Amino acid sequence: MPNLMLVTLQGHAAETPQEQVSGPLTVEGGLMIWTVVVFLILLAVLRRFAWPAILGAVEAREQALERMLADAAKDREQAATLLAEHQKLIGEAKTQAHGIIVEARGIAEKERALAMEKTRQEQEELLDRARREIRDERDRAVAELRREAVDLSLAAASRLIERRLDAETDRKLVLEFLAGLDEKP
């Protein structure tokens, strides 16, 4: 009997050689059904638990990206506004600087004109003072010459008359004579 069983097993083994051949391209019905069942169970579990978490993460990432894009657009607008304001301030600063330069030039011209006028006035005052001093000096020199002329005239007259008159009386006479000369011309 054992031989029979062996034969039977061997015979049976000989009958299904195609069933035992398996490979990547062979289709086995039972395995395919279990694979589909396991896939459907896995799909149901993933859909129930993992899919909402994955979709939530994707949606959160999408919202974060949208917020970042909105913030970037808002920052770009603020930067453009700040740039325009900065350029406006630079323009105003240039205008003010130009105004200050023009004003400084005007003030410098006024100061220069005042300094020139002051110098001219000082020059005129110096000339007037020099003229007065010259006139005063000339008057003193003329008076001195007149005194000497009086003294010389008296000395000459005394010698001519050969007597000496009173010096005070002589001076009075000559001064009256010279005063009379000043009035004639």
Residue 11 lies in a domain: no
Q: Which tens digits make up the pLDDT trace of 11-25?
A: 444 444 445 666 778
Residue 30 lies in a domain: no
Residue 34 lies in a domain: no
For the chain, which residues score pLDDT lower than 50?
A: 1-18
Structure tokens at 152: 């010389």
Which residue's entry shows tokens 């299904």? 16
The pLDDT score that the predictor gives to residue 76 is 94
Which residue segment(s) compose the domain that 85 sits in? 50-183
Structure tokens at 110: 């006024």
Residue 131 lies in a domain: yes
Residue 154 lies in a domain: yes
The pLDDT score that the predictor gives to residue 150 is 77
Residue 98 lies in a domain: yes
Domain total of the chain: 1
Strands (E), the chain: none
Residue 113 lies in a domain: yes
The pLDDT score that the predictor gives to residue 6 is 41
Close Cβ partners of 22 (under 8 Å, ≥ 6 residues apart): 28
Strands (E), 37-183: none
Residue 40 lies in a domain: no
